[in-house]
Amino acid sequence: MFTKVLVAEDYEIANQGIIRILNDQIGIHNIQEAKYCDDAYLKFRKAYNDNDAFELLITDLSFKQDHKVQTRTSGIELIQDIRSIQPDIKVIVYSQENRPDKINMLFEKYHINGYVCKGQNAIKELISCVNGVYQNQKIVPPELSNNPDSGSMIHLDDLDMLLLEELSYGYTKKEIRLKLIEQNITPNGESSIDKRVSRLFDNFKAKNTTHLVAIVKDLGLL
């Protein structure tokens, strides 16, 4: 089993809970905790430089910022920074987020090794996740692996996302068209944009632009 673990979680009640589980139920005793991303990074650096590196990082995604000035405010930055130095460190993300799209993105883009969703079964899931990751498995939360419709997810390309974003800012299609032309993005015909947005209507079962943006906001894609 892992012998040395770093826990980055700003929410101190959870922080303590995680450490207790690692300690009592998994038998890991060499644990360091950090309530700030920057603090986590410093502890990581120190251990790495002392040739006593961490084997596993368990981190939250969002860190509230208080009075202290932080250079990192999200777990993603922390993961990137740490992986750039120690690429083989195992990473478990442990967060509130339960939207399939977002969790999948973490695995695909940042190659995390496991994800545990804060929730009713966090204790059990955390234990099996740590065990699985130790055996080099990729541990997806059960909500996701059981969910059949996560595979049928609609794939949105960059232009789709751009359109959704611009629409959510209240720009008209004419204005968006001009922006696309300025940035040399094709297609940029007004009716091409219409068509694309209409397809999004179908995908998300939206009645109109306002509805579409509301849906996408709810899904957390914007």
Partner DNA sequence: ATCCAAAATACAGAAATCTGTAAGGACATT
Partner DNA sequence: AATGTCCTTACAGATTTCTGTATTTTGGAT
Binding region for DNA (CB under 7 A): 172-174, 186-192, 194-198, 201, 208-210
Out of 23, 25, 121, 191, name the contact with its own copies by CB under 8 A.
Answer: 121
Minimal distance in Å, beta carbon 198 to DNA? 4
Strands (E), the chain: 4-8, 30-34, 56-59, 90-95, 114-117
Residues 6+ apart with CB under 8 A from 221: 101, 156, 161, 164
Minimal distance in Å, beta carbon 210 to its own copies? 5
Minimal distance in Å, beta carbon 162 to DNA? 13
Out of 45, 102, 118, 179, name the contact with its own copies by CB under 8 A.
Answer: 118
Residue ranges in 144-173 that form contacts with its own copies under rule CB under 8 A: 167-172
> In the 8-state DSSP scheme, what is residue 153?
P
Inter-residue contact 66 to 11 (CB < 8 Å): no
Nearer to its own copies, 91 or 167 (CB): 167
Residues 6+ apart with CB under 8 A from 213: 164, 167, 168, 222
The site partner of 99 among DNA, its own copies, none (C-beta below 5 to 8 Å per kind) is: none
Minimal distance in Å, beta carbon 153 to DNA? 18
Minimal distance in Å, beta carbon 168 to its own copies? 4
Verify binding: residue 120, its own copies, rule CB under 8 A: yes
The site partner of 195 among its own copies, DNA, none (C-beta below 5 to 8 Å per kind) is: DNA
d(CA 33, CA 13): 12
Minimal distance in Å, beta carbon 208 to its own copies? 5
Distances (CA, A) of 140 to 13, 36, 108, 124, 190: 24, 25, 12, 14, 41
Q: Is 59 helix (H, G, I), strand (E, B) or coil?
A: strand
Nearer to its own copies, 64 or 199 (CB): 64
d(CA 63, CA 8): 9
Inter-residue contact 32 to 67 (CB < 8 Å): no
95 forms bridges with which residues in the sheet? 117
State the binding string over 174-213 for its own copies (x if CB under 8 A, else -): --------------------------------xxxxxxxx
Nearer to DNA, 113 or 209 (CB): 209
